């Protein structure tokens, strides 16, 4: 993986307690601090099921090109002295959509539901206009800001959509079973509409 000098965040500049926030595709996510602001730090972990290096580099390249209010902002890469690589992105402070929905102490009026749905749709419209297929859209990958705006995160399974029939056939089985489109589950070719199906499951 060849990082641009503009993307590199010196490992020693990442401060904080590295509190574990959870696990994403291929890695753990921690909370830290960089230049005085809270950040999310994703560490790549080895896997026997996937080519982790390939997916991690794809995630990094896709994230660095995305600039949208409903997509988590990529800040840079960092490399530890022992060779481990981390993706650093903005920290979203209000947890994920799944936890919010199941928290009985939270109010969930229809106005807010419509706002969530609109944010998800806007993010997908932006990604799909760039031919980016997320492939793992679910409540856990939809983060909520302090003012309850939704941001898509975890691009570990994301890739550029198929450009021809040959590439369409090479799209691999991946994602989370409960949110997978029938095409993925059946092992047949799939493309951008599979994200729309996952959004429908969420709604």
Q: Residue written as tokens 């993925």?
A: 184
CB 55 within 8 A of CB 103: no
- Look at phi and psi of residue 197 and say left if phi exceeds 0, alpha if psi is from -120 to 50, else beta: alpha
Residue 20 labelled as part of a binding site: no
How many alpha carbons lie under 13 Å from residue 120 in its C-beta half-sphere?
Answer: 26
CB 153 within 8 A of CB 92: yes
CB 158 within 8 A of CB 62: yes
| Residue 151, φ and ψ in degrees, nearest 5 | -130, 130
Q: Which residue, 199, 155, 154, 160, is CA-closest to 181? A: 199
Catalytic-labelled residue, pool 136, 154, 177, 195: 136
Give catalytic status of residue 177 as yes or no: no
Output the known binding site for ATP. 42
Catalytic positions, written as ranges: 136
Annotated binding site: 42
């Amino acid at each position: 993986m060849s990082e641009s000098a503009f993307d590199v965040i010196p490992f020693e500049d990442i401060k904080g307690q590295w509190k574990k926030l959870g696990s994403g595709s291929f890695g753990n996510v921690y909370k830290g601090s960089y230049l005085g602001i809270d950040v999310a730090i994703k560490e790549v972990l080895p896997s026997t099921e996937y080519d982790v290096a390939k997916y991690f580099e794809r995630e990094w390249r896709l994230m660095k090109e995305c600039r949208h209010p409903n997509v988590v902002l990529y800040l840079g890469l960092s490399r530890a002295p022992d060779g481990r690589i981390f993706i650093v992105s903005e920290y979203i402070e209000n947890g994920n959509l799944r936890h919010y929905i199941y928290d009985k102490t939270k109010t969930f009026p229809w106005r807010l539901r419509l706002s969530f749905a609109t944010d998800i749709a806007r993010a997908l419209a932006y990604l799909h206009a760039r031919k980016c297929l997320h492939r793992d859209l679910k409540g856990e990958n939809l983060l909520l800001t302090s003012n309850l705006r939704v941001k898509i995160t975890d691009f570990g399974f994301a890739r550029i959509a198929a450009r021809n029939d040959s590439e369409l056939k090479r799209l691999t089985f991946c994602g989370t079973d409960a949110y997978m489109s029938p095409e993925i589950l059946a092992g047949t070719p799939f493309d951008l509409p599979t994200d729309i199906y996952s959004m429908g499951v969420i709604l």
